[in-house]
Structure 1
Amino acid sequence: MTAFKVVIPARYASSRLPGKPLLELAGRPMIAHVCEQALQAGAEAVVVATDDERIGAAAETAGVTAILTDTAHASGTERIQEVVRRMGWREDEIVVNWQGDEPLLAPELVHHLAESLAGHPRAVMATLATPATAEEVFSPHAVKVVMDNDGCALYFSRAPIPWCRDGFAQSPPRVPDEIHWRHIGVYAYRAGLLHRYVNWSPAPLEKVEALEQLRVLWQGEKIFVVTVSHAPEAGVDTPADISRVADRLREREAENANRGAR
């Protein structure tokens, strides 16, 4: 059985939803729902990395250790690296980044991601991808990824990659099946990568695409891509997401209650 850790970066500040991890969903703070899901993934440890004591308190009430991290971090990756360093985890430890606004992410998927990274020793990082729809292929809001023969990422882009020369020349464009993949931003890392990552300067391609995983490829490291048939349910990114996610959480709690009553 693969041993791994889960770190949940959860900052208070958010341009669209300030205090997002503390939003009440189905009667409890969002971060509590995330913690409860993460505890079911089979990780050796689950830690919330936050810049706010209120978020930390909500996480600990849900049964998860919370660490107050530096408020100056520019990304969740930097916040996770601080936790790894302070916890003294080994460089070969597998650490999964479970975002604090993803209460619907399936524990089984996170476990599978960690196992996939463990099974590919040449890779320092693993992530997810799902078949892209024709609309997603041409949308700059959907990140695409192309892989090599071993399933490792060659490149991530907001552009429609690979460019289907003949198919895209048609009107309307023809998008071939099983060649375009949409990236899903869930990550597992080997802890040693995180220590190197925070000391690397942002890569030129990373700046142009606004995709921080390109920093890893720029340095010649391998990212294994786990392909899944369906994307995980989206979390809370905008005010419009709140009622959808809250309804789904209530449905899940009702399903669990019915299962327990049998």
Structure 2
Amino acid sequence: MTTAFTVIIPSRYASTRLPGKPLRFIGNKPMIQLVWEQTCKSGAERILVATDDQRIIEVCKGFGAEAVLTLEDHNSGTDRLAEVAVQLGLAADAIVVNVQVDEPLIPPCLIDQVAANLEAYGEARIATLAEPIKDIDTLFSPNVVKVVSDTNGLALTFSRSILPWSRDCFIKNLDVLPKGVLYRRHIGIYAYRAGFLYDFINWSPCWLEKTESLEQLRALWYGVRIHVDDALETLPAGVDTKEDLERIRCLLWQAR
């Protein structure tokens, strides 16, 4: 049975490190179009771009995407998703997948995977993905979010710090990955039940979320179960900076 789900692509125009990011061109297309085209290869029933800027609305109309205008003052993409879910009148059990606007190379199978996982695990209200960490530099990077799950694949916690800390191994050596320890990098693609989104916007951020700057910790704080699975494919690095943008441009040019 095919999982029914809606994809929403939050697309804020302002960006501290790369202003106007969704409209930056990669080849002959704006980045938002590349993300939308990849998403169209998934099994989504409906795909919407949610933006705070009329310029993005007009560009999306130009290549045939459905786009909706949202408030400017959302604190996160999750809040923007919630506004759109309300606009659409989605049922509480409807599945919504958040695809980031800075992932122009996202494999469509990951979109399908995270939606199917949420449907399969009824105790979870969120599903997300992870991949193994294979080098020590990645493990120690605060920009890489680590996740630990229980035996049922449900998240125990997320952190920018090393998680778990291999006490005995790191006493001896900080330059080598400990053997037998499963370190996993969290990948920022989410599937939500719409009812969770309706609840989330009414919850105040907790101190743990503020400390780590990770909003998924708010969900755990309020008792929400998050299912985490290993990604079926590697998610290529996204676009946060001008350097990232040039790297993606080069990759796509070489693939021509």
TM-score in terms of structure 2 length: 0.95
Deviations 1:36-95 (A, max 9, x none): 111111101000000111111222222221000001111111111111000111111111
Identity of aligned residues (%): 48
Residue 235 (structure 1) aligns with = 238
Residue 222 (structure 2) aligns with = 219
| Partner Cα distance (1:101, 1:140) in 2 | 20
| Partner Cα distance (1:7, 1:177) in 2 | 38
Residue 86 (structure 1) aligns with = 87
Count of aligned residue pairs for this structure pair: 253
| Cα contact 1:184–1:231 (8 A) shared by 2 | no
Counterparts of 1:38-117 in structure 2, within 5 Å, are: 38-117=39-118
Structure 1 residue 249, shift from structure 2 partner: 3.3
Residue 18 (structure 2) aligns with = 17
Deviations 1:159-178 (A, max 9, x none): 11111121111124542345
Amino acid across the alignment from 2:159: S
Amino acid across the alignment from 2:165: W
| Cα contact 1:144–1:156 (8 A) shared by 2 | yes
| Partner Cα distance (2:232, 2:94) in 1 | 28
The structure 1 segments of at least 4 consecutive aligned residues displaced by more than 4 Å after TM superposition are none
Amino acid across the alignment from 1:137: L
What secondary structure sits across from 2:110 in the alignment?
Answer: helix
Which of residues 119, 136, 155 is equivalent to 1:153?
155
Give ranges in structure 2 of 5+ residues lacking alignment. none
Give ranges in structure 1 of 5+ residues lacking alignment. 255-262
Amino acid across the alignment from 1:95: V
Is the alpha carbon distance of 1:12 and 1:138 closer, same or farther for their aligned partners in structure 2, counting shifts above 3 Å?
A: same
Residue 137 (structure 2) aligns with = 135
| Cα contact 1:36–1:62 (8 A) shared by 2 | no
Counterparts of 1:127-206 in structure 2, within 5 Å, are: 127-133=128-134, 134-171=136-173, 172-177=175-180, 179-206=182-209
| Partner Cα distance (2:131, 2:181) in 1 | 10
| Partner Cα distance (2:35, 2:254) in 1 | 16
| Cα contact 1:140–1:159 (8 A) shared by 2 | yes
| Cα contact 2:154–2:225 (8 A) shared by 1 | yes
Is the alpha carbon distance of 1:100 and 1:147 closer, same or farther for their aligned partners in structure 2, counting shifts above 3 Å?
A: same
Is the alpha carbon distance of 1:228 and 1:60 closer, same or farther for their aligned partners in structure 2, counting shifts above 3 Å?
A: same
Structure 1 residue 221, shift from structure 2 partner: 0.9
Amino acid across the alignment from 2:88: M
| Cα contact 1:35–1:59 (8 A) shared by 2 | no
Residue 260 (structure 1) aligns with = none
| RMSD across aligned positions (CA) | 1.4
Structure 1 residue 251, shift from structure 2 partner: 5.0
Structure 1 residue 121, shift from structure 2 partner: 0.5
| Partner Cα distance (1:117, 1:61) in 2 | 33
Residue 125 (structure 2) aligns with = 124
